[in-house]
A and B are shown apart, each in its own frame.
Chain A
Amino acid sequence: MTPLVELKDVYKIYKMGDTSVHALDGISLTIEKGEFVAIVGQSGSGKSTCMNIIGCLDVATKGTYKLNGRRIGNYSQDELAEIRNKMLGFIFQQYNLIPKLTVLENVQLPLLYAGMRESEQRARALASLERVGLKAKAGNYPSQLSGGQQQRVSIARALAGEPSVILADEPTGALDSRTGREVMMFLQKLNREGNTIILVTHDNSIAARAKRIVRITDGRIVYDGPVEGDVTVMQMHGAGEEAPEDEKAKGAT
């Protein structure tokens, strides 16, 4: 069976004047259908860069990336857009809902760009909102919703197109810890229902809710395996703590 996501020796190099930043420095990673993977690392370690490449928002400088066996290389912007539309669902830290569109219209967006009929868009978007328990808020505007509700709307939007992979970049980053945990529980539920989820976080306690941990430091994978094998996570989790503040501070420097 072809893996869903297959990164082979992937580099992302940003040239800034005569210095160059290796945001990704030879990443190889394979993710199968149905997995729940957390990409963890300090701020600036290259998680988002990795996520952007997996999400076809960006292309690697070097190395190969295959999504569902299809090599993502010399595609045009429009072809990448189509791949994103058909195969990927995004959940962002800032929810990224469009404020002047209603909740329903926001959820309809990926279906709209898929060229679906209006009536079908509505039906699917409503079904998707129902899954996150926000069908009643379909006619509201995002600003009328709480942070947790907005994030659930963005999850509904990610689910609407029935993507092969759901990509979540710091989905709990803007939420208080309780709402953050709710969102995580919802993602776990989605995973149990068969969805493949890739989660990016700097928060070890959040990462601990995934099934597999990929730890990145300075653009390299330093650990890839089950949650139980990751020392840092186990320490944190075992101690029952939230993300330590000093790690954030370290990342910022």
Chain B
Amino acid sequence: MLWKCFKMAINSVISNKMRSLLTMLGIIIGITAVISLVSLMSGLTSEVTDAFEEVGIEAISVAVTDRADTIELPVEHVDELAQKYPDIIQGYSPSVTMPAYIKDGTESVMSSATGVNEQYIDLYGYKIEYGRGITYIDVERMQKVCVIGTYIAKEFFDGDALGKTLQITGTPYKVVGIIEERSDSEKDSDDDCIYVPYTVAAHTVHSSKISRYIVYATNQETVEAAETLIEQLCDKDIGDDDYYTVIAMKAIAESLTSILDSMGAVLIAIAAISLVVAGIGIMNIMLVSVTERTREIGIRKSLGAKQRDILSQFIMEAGMLSCIGGVIGIAFGSLLAVGAGKLLDMNVLPTPASIIVSFTVSAAIGVFFGFMPAKKAAELNPIDALRYD
């Protein structure tokens, strides 16, 4: 019975090709819009979250203005705080950026090195492939050592860097460790990095104070608590909050994704309106179809068709129209999304969830908007219907 119903619906859709296509157009456009927008938005969102995950979503950056001499957030205080709240603060590191000219043969290449403590490499999520990281001793004794990324190792030492000497702005640093490749060993990637003890870096840039820290919360849930602790410390040490900024990566990531989410929601709402319009189009055509086929309905009823037989026939037909429209829309939308992804150099793919939801929604639209006309057909009086022409 169901199969027969299905076949009848297909026949009806096929026998009115032009009309079916025009009726489906609304659904096709709506679903195309939904699929491509959802895919694009989720591609964008994952791009953003990926970017933040590289730094670490638990990271909190603390910056102190270095204008006045009296303003200082000493390393000891940050260290104390970290020791006192091990459940909230996973670790911290000063972050001192040091301009670096690196000799490559006769040429000098402009790069930069970062002064960090012994915790940083772990916190950032780097793994040491050869040698070791920066140690406490290195920091304490201001040893001129460095840990480098695979790009530096490849570019300046042909990969064989461990134990060699790297000339940074005329000062020799011993390469004590090489970090495992994290990106693609290209320039400006995560693998293009040089780390030195922060004490050395601070000395090199003639600064006695540390003006930037990066603090890691133990996990995503403790980010807010850690932020509060740091702000309290800054408040105590510095006072005026014009002179320091505490920014949690999580907060930035969240506000960005929430902007993207609400942008997506607005776009999808607009697409949804087009789907409602499409549904009304289907309802309209189904009403016409019911009127045109009044006699057929009368014949079927006289032969013993029950209300539900007629109801399911017309609902099936409406559902068929919108499902076919939905499938075409999903195909177009996916193509559009992939094309746009290529254009924007982003990894955009329609998610299985969005495909399933779109298909379900289009089926639901057909059934919902097909119901009224189908009910009208099912309730026709057989004699009136038979007499109709």
Contact = CB atoms under 8 A, between A and B. Distances in A.
B4 A84 contact: no
Interface in B1-56: 1, 3-4, 11-12, 15
Interface stretch (A37-45, A106-114, A144-152, A214-222): A106-114
A109 B382 contact: no
Contact of A113 (B3, B11, B300): B300
A57 interface: yes
A93 to B, nearest CB: 10
Interface string B286-310: 0000000001101111111111110
Contacts of A81: 301, 304-307
Interface in B301-345: 301-309
A47 interface: no
B20 to A, nearest CB: 14
Given A57-B302, A100-B11, A78 B307 contact: yes
A84 B303 contact: yes
Given A112-B4, A118-B4, A90 B302 contact: yes
B4 A110 contact: no
B277 interface: no
A196 to B, nearest CB: 18
Contact of B304 (A92, A98, A100, A113): A113
B14 to A, nearest CB: 10
B137 interface: no
A52 B1 contact: no
Nearest to A116: B1
A140 interface: no
Best-buried of B3, B11, B383 by chain A (most CB within 10 Å): B383
Given A77-B307, A82-B306, A112-B4, A96 B386 contact: yes
A118 B7 CA distance: 13
Interface in A67-114: 77-78, 81-82, 84-86, 90, 92, 96-98, 100, 109-110, 112-114
Nearest to B301: A81
B303 A57 contact: no
Interface in A155-183: 157, 161
A59 to B, nearest CB: 11
B306 A57 contact: no
A113 B299 CA distance: 12
- SS class, residues of chain B in contact with chain A: helix
Given A81-B301, A98-B296, A112 B383 contact: no
A128 to B, nearest CB: 13
A237 to B, nearest CB: 31
Contacts of A78: 306-308
B187 to A, nearest CB: 69
Given A98-B296, A118-B4, A113 B303 contact: yes
Best-buried of A81, A110, A115, A157 by chain B (most CB within 10 Å): A81
A230 interface: no
Contacts of B379: 77
Contact of B302 (A82, A84, A97, A114): A84
Interface residues of B, number: 24
Contacts of B301: 81
A245 B193 CA distance: 108
A224 B298 CA distance: 31
Contacts of B296: 98
A35 interface: no
A157 B386 contact: no
Given A52-B383, A57-B383, A100-B11, A112 B1 contact: yes
Nearest to B4: A112
A224 B382 CA distance: 29
A110 B307 contact: no
B15 A90 contact: no
Contacts of B298: 96
B307 to A, nearest CB: 6
Nearest to A90: B302
A58 interface: yes
Contacts of B303: 84-85, 90, 109-110, 113, 157
Best-buried of B12, B307, B382, B383 by chain A (most CB within 10 Å): B382
A86 B305 CA distance: 11
Contacts of A52: 383
B307 A58 contact: no
Nearest to A108: B4
A58 B3 CA distance: 31
Contacts of A57: 302, 382-383, 386
Contacts of A90: 302-303
Contact of A109 (B11, B12, B300, B386): B300
Interface string B135-156: 0000000000000000000000
Interface of B: 1, 3-4, 11-12, 15, 295-296, 298-309, 379, 382-383, 386
Given A81-B304, A157-B303, A161-B304, 10 more contacts: A77-B306, A82-B304, A90-B302, A90-B303, A96-B299, A96-B386, A100-B12, A112-B1, A113-B300, A113-B305
11 contacts: A57-B383, A57-B386, A81-B306, A82-B306, A84-B302, A90-B302, A98-B300, A109-B300, A110-B304, A112-B4, A113-B300
Smallest CB-CB A-B distances: 7 pairs:
A85-B304, A113-B304, A78-B306, A110-B303, A96-B299, A81-B306, A109-B303
